[in-house]
């Protein structure tokens, strides 16, 4: 009888111990700090008013806790050049140099080249803009050199070369064509590779901007429109934008670089709390951010990774 009681007691103790461990391992759901990188486009240059913001997370209203202008903190900018661009892109090198030199001191820069589904770079951001420019060169101008700009974007943002808190931007210089999605046509604009790239960028808290420029092997307006459609899709989904909605490569990209520079200066980190099941820290939450502030238009990502804090 004593043996039986001892066995029962041991079973109870074991059950309680396991229950304690189980309770520690099962994550609790609850609101956690999260940030979104957004742009407040304003013709008058008015600062964003936090009191005028209305935020929804997964369809539920949530208060905005704080907003921080990117201009007051650190920002990281990755300029990704497609190595398949036409040789005429050589004429734009000096414009990129001037753009980087004119960036505020708080912006760290990395220049990389999209090749074979990845990005070739020195794998670090630098606040020394002259140092960052040392790797700038003329693209190889090889047909299909990037394989797909969206493969390159996905790999880069998933392995962002810095863990330091900063607002994250990507500027892609590419034709935006996805050659792995069957027919390269504006009528075939549902690509799982493009969608994966935008989701990876959202999870990494990266706003993706782009300037369309023709690839060496690109032929026909339909191809150009298809690539531009994808670039606009990724830009809109991540709170960024796509420039140069034409069918030819621009003779100068300086006007678009000025627009991008302004976009950075109008950007904010918006902090709030969002519910999350802590089992999966890579969950994306749908957000909608609006403002009643007169003359201000908000560009925000469609989704953010809950728990992402910059």
Q: Where are the domains of the chain?
A: 73-265
pLDDT for the residue numbered 220 = 57
Of 30-44, 96-110, 219-233, 252-266, least confident by mean pLDDT is 219-233
pLDDT for the residue numbered 278 = 55
User: At 164, is the pLDDT very low, low, confident or very high (cuts 50, 70, 90)?
Assistant: very high
pLDDT for the residue numbered 26 = 35
| More confident call, 270 vs 179 | 270
- Cβ neighbours of 159 (radius 10 Å): 11
- On the question of pLDDT at 291 being above 80, the answer is yes
Q: Which residues contact 301 (CB under 8 A, 6 or more apart)?
A: 36, 37, 38, 202, 207, 237, 238, 239, 287
- On the question of pLDDT at 65 being above 70, the answer is yes
pTM of the model: 0.87
Architecture of domain 73-265: 3-Layer(aba) Sandwich (3.40)
Distance separating alpha carbons of residues 242 and 259, to the nearest angstrom = 10
């Amino acid at each position: 009888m004593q043996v039986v009681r001892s066995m029962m007691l041991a079973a109870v103790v074991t059950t309680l111990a396991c229950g304690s461990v189980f309770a520690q391992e099962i994550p609790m759901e609850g609101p956690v700090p999260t940030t979104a990188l957004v742009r407040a486009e304003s013709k008058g240059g008015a600062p964003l008013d936090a009191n005028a913001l209305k935020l929804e997370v997964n369809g539920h209203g949530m208060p905005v806790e704080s907003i921080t202008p990117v201009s007051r903190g650190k920002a990281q900018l990755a300029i990704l050049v497609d190595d398949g661009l036409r040789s005429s892109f050589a004429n734009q090198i000096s414009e990129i140099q001037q753009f980087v030199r004119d960036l505020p001191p708080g912006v760290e820069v990395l220049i990389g080249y999209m090749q074979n589904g990845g990005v070739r770079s020195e794998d670090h951001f630098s606040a020394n803009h002259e140092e960052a420019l040392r790797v700038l060169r003329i693209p190889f101008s090889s047909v299909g050199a990037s394989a797909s700009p969206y493969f390159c974007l996905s790999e880069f943002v998933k392995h962002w070369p810095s863990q330091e808190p900063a607002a994250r931007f990507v500027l892609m210089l590419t034709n935006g064509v996805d050659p792995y999605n069957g027919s390269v046509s504006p009528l075939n604009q549902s690509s799982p590779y493009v969608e994966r790239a935008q989701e990876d960028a959202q999870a990494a808290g990266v706003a993706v901007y782009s300037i369309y420029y023709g690839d060496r092997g690109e032929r026909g307006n339909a191809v150009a429109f298809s690539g531009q459609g994808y670039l606009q899709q990724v830009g809109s989904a991540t709170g960024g934008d796509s420039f140069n909605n034409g069918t030819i490569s621009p003779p100068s990209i300086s006007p678009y670089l000025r627009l991008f520079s302004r976009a950075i200066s109008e950007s904010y980190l918006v902090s709030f709390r969002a519910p999350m099941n802590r089992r999966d820290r890579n969950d994306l939450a749908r957000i909608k951010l609006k403002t009643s502030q007169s003359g201000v238009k908000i560009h925000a990502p469609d989704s953010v990774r809950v728990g992402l804090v910059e």
